[in-house]
Structure 1
Amino acid sequence: MKAETFETDFWKDAELRKTWDDIIPGEPRKTLPYTLTLEAIQKLCRVLGDTHPLYFDEEYANQSSYKGLIAPPSIHILLMFSCTPADDWMRSPGTINAGQSWSYNVPARPGDTIRLEARALDKFIKKDRLFVVHDNVFFNQHNQVICSGRGWTIRAF
C-alpha cells in the first residue's frame, strides 16, 4: 500500500479557503479521516531527526511497554494537515502559529484510522492583527483520544 502524496504547494487552493469573515467560533470544521501508515510515521521521524527504536525497530517496540511500533507525539503536525481538506482555513498561506499547547493520551500506531474534531473557539482583532483560538482533538478508530490541543494563530489579511 503506497502512502498518499502530500501536497507541498500551499498556495494551490488558497482561493478556496474560508476568509476571516467566514470563520464562525464554535462551528465544527470539516475534516477527513486519515489512515496512518508506518511509511508516513518513519518519514516524519527522519525529517525531524528522531530515530528512536520505538518508531523503527519492531522487535524493540514489541518488547517495550507499548507492545508495538508507535508514532512520536509530534505526529499531530502530520495529522493536522492530513485530516483537513484543501479548503480548510487553518491551511491558509501566511497564517502564523502564535502558540499551542498539546496533551498526549494514547500513542498513534501504524494502521490507525485517525479522526479529527476541530473548531475555532474565538476570533478577535488585537493591534491590527487577526487572531483565532482553535481546538483540535485527534481520535483513533477505537474512539480513544490520541492527542488534543489548543492553538492560537494570526491570520493573514
Structure 2
Amino acid sequence: MTQAVGSTRFETDFWKDAKSRKVWDDIVPGEPRESLPYTLTREAISLFCKAVGETNPLYIDEAAAKAGPYGGLVAPPSIHILLMFSCTPADDWMRSPGTVNAGQSWSYNIPARPGDVITLQARALDKFIRRERLFVVHDNVFFNQHGDVICSGRGQTIRPM
C-alpha cells in the first residue's frame, strides 16, 4: 500500500521489499549508502506533525511561522526520521524489518524548510556481534540544496538475523 504525500508516494507496507534489502554480509563499514534527493513539502511536514502529535505553530501555521525566529515555516527536528526513509532506496539495509534502535545521538544545525531538496550522506562505521546479536554503528548527515548541514547523527542498531 502506498500513500501520496505531495508528488511523492510513500510505501506503507514495510515488508514489501524485505527480500531485496541488504543483509548483514552486505554491510561494509565505510562504504557510503545510496542517497536519493528528496524535496520536502509543506504537506509532508504537516502530515509528519499530525502523525507525531506536534502542534508547534512554527511547523504548521504560516502566519505564526512568518512572525517567528525563522521567518517562515520550518520542519521539526525529528523530521530526520521521515528523511531517513525518503532519502534511501527500498533495498537500503536500515529499512530491514526487525531492526531495533539501540541508541542514537543527533545534532541539529539549521531547520529544514518546505522546498528544500534534502540529500543524505550515510555509512556504517562498524559492525560487530555481541551476545549473539548483530550490531551496526552508523552515521548520517542530512544536507539541503545549498550544502548546509541540517542535522547529523550517530547511532547503533541491532540487525535481524
Q: TM-score, normalised by structure 2?
A: 0.95
Matches within 5 A, 1:1-157: 2-157=6-161
Contact 2:118 2:144 (C-alpha < 8 Å) held by counterparts: yes
Q: How many residues align?
A: 157
Identical aligned pairs, as a percentage? 73
Measured in 2, the distance between the counterparts of 1:30 and 1:43 equals 26
1:143 is displaced (CA, Å) by 0.5
Contact 1:25 1:121 (C-alpha < 8 Å) held by counterparts: yes
Q: Which amino acid aligns with 1:94?
A: G
**Superposed CA offset, 1:12-59 (max 9, x none):** 111111110110000000110000000000100011111111011111
SS where residue 59 of structure 2 aligns?
Answer: helix
Measured in 2, the distance between the counterparts of 1:52 and 1:16 equals 38
- Which stretches in structure 2 are left out of the alignment for 5+ residues? none
- Which stretches in structure 1 are left out of the alignment for 5+ residues? none
User: Which stretches of structure 1, 4 residues or more, deviate above 4 A after TM superposition?
Assistant: none
Which stretch of the first structure deviates more once superposed, 104-113 or 8-17?
8-17
Q: Identify, as 1 or 2, the structure richer in strand.
A: 2
Contact 1:3 1:39 (C-alpha < 8 Å) held by counterparts: no
Contact 2:6 2:44 (C-alpha < 8 Å) held by counterparts: no
Measured in 2, the distance between the counterparts of 1:30 and 1:41 equals 23
Task: Give the root-mean-square deviation of aligned CA atoms.
Answer: 1.0
Q: TM-score, normalised by structure 1?
A: 0.97
1:90 is displaced (CA, Å) by 0.3
1:3 is displaced (CA, Å) by 3.6
Q: Which amino acid aligns with 1:29?
A: R
Contact 2:138 2:154 (C-alpha < 8 Å) held by counterparts: yes
